[in-house]
A and B are shown apart, each in its own frame.
Chain A
Amino acid sequence: MKLTRRELGATAVATVAAATSQAQTPPPPDQGIAQVVRDANRRNAEALAKFEIPIETEPAFQFRA
């Protein structure tokens, strides 16, 4: 899967590490912060949606009885 610069920027903003020096798309200054956050989550969801996952792939956690 190829990432565009825009996608790369959007994903970097979302990381908890506050990726200060990585590729980023600054949020538009005229939008409310809540909208900025919702937009970032939407872009994250869109980036994940483009990813094709083999049907047999299980999530990366285990339940241990």
Chain B
Amino acid sequence: MTDDVYFATITELNDRLRKKEFTCVELVKGFAERLEKIGPRYNAVALPLTESAVRRAKDVDAELKRERFRGPLQGIPFGAKDLLSVAGEITSWGAKPFASQVLDETATVLTKLDKTGSVLIGKLAMVELAGGPSYRFPNASLFGPGLNPWDRSRWSGGSSSGSGSAVAAGLVPFALGSETSGSILTPSSFCGITGLRPTYGLVSRHGAMALSWTMDKIGPMCRSAEDCGLVLQAISGGDSNDPGSAGKSFYYTPQYARKLSDLKAGVATVDLEWVEPEMRPVIEAALETIRSLGPKTVEAKLPDFPHGALAGTVVAAEGSSIFEQLITSGKVNELVDARQIEGLKAGLDIPAKDYLKAMRIRSLLKRKFRELFADVDVIIAPGRYGIAPPISEPLDGSGNRGAPPARPSSPGMNGLIPAGNLAGLPALSLPCGFSRGMPVSLQIVGPPFSENTLLAIGREFQSRTDWHKRRPPAPGV
């Protein structure tokens, strides 16, 4: 198996399987061995599932031999964030108190992927308890800090750390991650892969660890926008087992996408002042490429709300309620990150009036976004305003030496990640260049259930650029 296989897209791999260039067993064994051998270099692996994967791959090969074709995901290996349960296997949620937890049910998204013929080859590492309500250091995980394949001294991002680094390093063709407030977009951006945060309720969370009932989403992390569309189609759909389910399905239909020249994209010029200076030309060039695809860009303003305070209050109140038993039993102290431990404890003391106020303000935020999306079709902003930080640095900025840089007068789209999550909006993270050797991305955010529009822009962008095809340095094993 050559490197081009390990960095191929879902469509390319499926095409080669059907042409019998290799069998599903060979493909699964190749990826699984790579995941087991190279994955630990990035602290990316929670649990290899090679044996069951090879058994499943034999079934797929039998189907392919009978020419029973299920679709583009058939025979494609993948990994899943370790907050998704597989019946009978350990599901640790990235946290020591749950290190030997075995659950009875398999997550709905994994059952759905199994029906497409794709093959789960392993569980991927994550920040403990998906990082809720907040954490201070990249090493906040049972598996150690997620290491970035582009530079192992830097963080892979969180909380879907292993999903980000495993896709970037060619250890899986795609992975599932989850996002409460940035956990798909951040590792996708830092690792240079394409990640999609679906609309709240579009993908069932049954069988997934809950951190925030009103904000959790599960989504694909892939090599291309096209791949994200194919995976989202497979995992979306109503589920009576998920009280937050929107009862809607998603069909990836790029052929019916609106003409990009008919679209209006909102941007905030001041964002260029917010990004690290070295990133500015990269973001400027990426926005120019977007304009060349057809969408008209206009100045837009993020609805003016205390997004961080809202997300912080909602996630802390809901997360601490979910983990109340962990907290009151004292087992919470087994977590790695001191800030996270104290955050969970303090979350139990958030008054109902503050939580309800946050939830009422969310209603106003949703309304303001509806008004904004009457003017623009999508919002485009830098995915992150800086590159992946060193793993030794605290994430709250307290490790920065020297005077803080001068801040622009307007927040621009800073706050779009918590704002978009609070409003349940879909977002696509697109690799758009490099700064200091590390990946840089754009995020494209749209109104609820506008995934096809986001993916159409992403697909066109990736037909004109090759940032998503770049590979990190080969790992020395």
B209 to chain A: closest CB distance in Å? 13
A-B contact count (CB 8 A): 189
Known: A22-B414, A33-B339. A58 touches B363 (CB 8 A): yes
Interface size class of B (residues with CB under 8 A): 35 or more
Contact B214 A37 (CB under 8 A): no
The answer to whether B339 touches A19 (Cβ under 8 A) is: no
Q: Which partner residue on chain A sits nearest B182 by CB separation?
A: A17
B361 proximal to A (CB < 8 A) = yes
* A9-65 interface (Cβ within 8 A of B): 10-27, 29, 33-34, 36-38, 40-41, 43-45, 47-51, 53-54, 57-61, 64
A37-B346, A51-B361 in contact; A13/B308 too (CB < 8 A)?
A: yes
CA distance A54 to B311 in the complex (A): 20
Tell me the nearest residue of chain A to B184, going by C-beta: A17
The answer on a CB contact under 8 Å between A38 and B346 is yes
Least CB distance from A62 to B in Å reads: 10
Give the CA-CA distance A38 to B347 in the complex, in Å.
9
From 89 to 124 in chain B, residues with beta carbon under 8 angstroms from any chain A beta carbon are none
Closest B residue by C-beta to A26: B398
Q: B173 → chain A, closest Cβ, in Å?
A: 26
A24 and B304 form a contact (CB under 8 A): no
Q: Which residues of B contact A (CB under 8 A)?
A: 130-136, 158-159, 180-183, 185-186, 211, 214, 243, 276, 304-313, 315-316, 338-339, 342-343, 345-347, 349-351, 354, 356-364, 366, 384-386, 389, 395-398, 400, 407, 411, 414-415, 417-418
Chain A residues close to B by CB (< 8 Å)? 1-3, 5, 7-8, 10-27, 29, 33-34, 36-38, 40-41, 43-45, 47-51, 53-54, 57-61, 64
Q: Which 5 pairs from chain A and chain B are nearest by CB? A: A11-B308, A17-B182, A14-B312, A21-B386, A59-B359
Pick 8 A–B contacts, CB within 8 A, sort by A.
A10-B308, A18-B135, A18-B136, A18-B182, A44-B309, A53-B364, A59-B356, A60-B360
